Amino acid sequence: MEGDCLSCMKYLMFLFNFFIFLGGACLLGVGIWVIVDPTGFREIVAANPLLFTGAYIMLAMGAMLFLLGFLGCCGAIRENKCLLLFFFMFILLIFLAELSAAILAFIFRENLTREFFTKELKKHYLRDNDTDVFSSTWNSVMITFACCGVNGPEDFEAIPHLPYSSLEKATPEACCQRELQSREGMFVNKEACLTGIERFQNRQGCYTVILNSFETYVYLAGALAIGVLAIELFAMIFAMCLFRGIQ
C-alpha cells in the first residue's frame, strides 16, 4: 500500500511540475513578445525604464519556472532527494515573492485610480518633449490607444506650454487623430486639431479606453495567478511527501 501511495505521489508530482514547466514557457513567451512586438508595446516599454525592467523580470521568472519545472519532473521520476529539496526551496521562495507582490498590489491599489493618474499627468507632463521619459511614455500610450489624457483633452488645459512652442495650443500632438496609430502615422489634420477642432482630436480619455481594452485580460491574469499559486502550493506539498517517502 505504501509503495502504491508513493508511486501515486510521484506521478502527481510529475504532473504538477509539468504544469509549472508550461507556465514558465508561457511567461517566457509573453516576455519575449512584449519586448519584440512591433505593434506598439515595444515602443511603450522602451520609453519607460520601469516597464523595460519589468519585461526582463518576466523573462527571468519564466526561465526560472521553466527550469524548476524541468528539475521537479526529473526529481520526481528519478526519486532524487537532492533535486526534490532544491526544487522545494526555490518554489517556496517564488511562492512567497508572488504572495508578497499580490498583497502589496492590493494595499496600493488606490494608486491606480483615475484621480491619481490625472494628478500625476498635470504635475509631470511636458507635452511634446520626448526627451522626458514620463511625457514620452504618455505620448506613446495616447498614440497607440487613440486616446487623450486620463479623462480627455480637458486634462491639458492647466498644463503650461513649452517655452519654445510656436503654437498656443491646449491639446498635445499625441491627441490628434492619425491615419495609423503609431508615431510614424500621418495626421488627419494636425493644424485643425491643435487649434481645437474636436472632430480631428481623440476625445476619449485613456483611462476608460485602456480599462475597457484590458478588462477581460485583468480577470484572466488574476485567475491565472491564483491557479499558479495553487499549483505551486500543491507541488511543494507533494515534493515534501515524496522526499520523506524515498528511502
pLDDT in tens, the chain (247 residues): 455 677 777 787 788 778 878 888 888 887 777 777 655 555 555 555 555 666 777 788 788 888 888 888 888 788 788 888 888 888 888 788 877 877 876 777 666 678 888 888 888 888 777 677 888 888 888 888 889 989 988 888 766 554 444 444 578 888 999 887 666 778 888 888 888 888 888 989 998 888 887 776 767 777 777 887 887 787 788 788 888 877 6
Contact 200, 193 (CB under 8 A): yes
The backbone torsions φ and ψ at residue 190, rounded to the nearest 5 degrees and listed phi first, read: -65, -45
> How far is it, in rounded angstroms, from Cα 135 to Cα 139?
6
Q: What cell was used for 242?
A: 515524496
Q: Which class for 215: exposed (0-12), middle (13-18), buried (19 or more C-beta within 10 A)? A: exposed
Domains for the chain: give ranges and CATH numbers: 1-111+222-245 (no CATH), 116-204 (1.10.1450)
Of 68, 93, 62, residue with least CA distance to 83 = 68
Contacts of 152 (CB under 8 A, 6+ apart): 203, 204, 205
End-to-end CA distance of the chain: give it in Å, rounded: 15
Of 121, 171, 170, 174, residue with least CA distance to 143 = 174
The backbone torsions φ and ψ at residue 146, rounded to the nearest 5 degrees and listed phi first, read: 50, 50
DSSP letter at 176 equals: B
DSSP letter at 184 equals: T
Residue with cell 527550469: 67
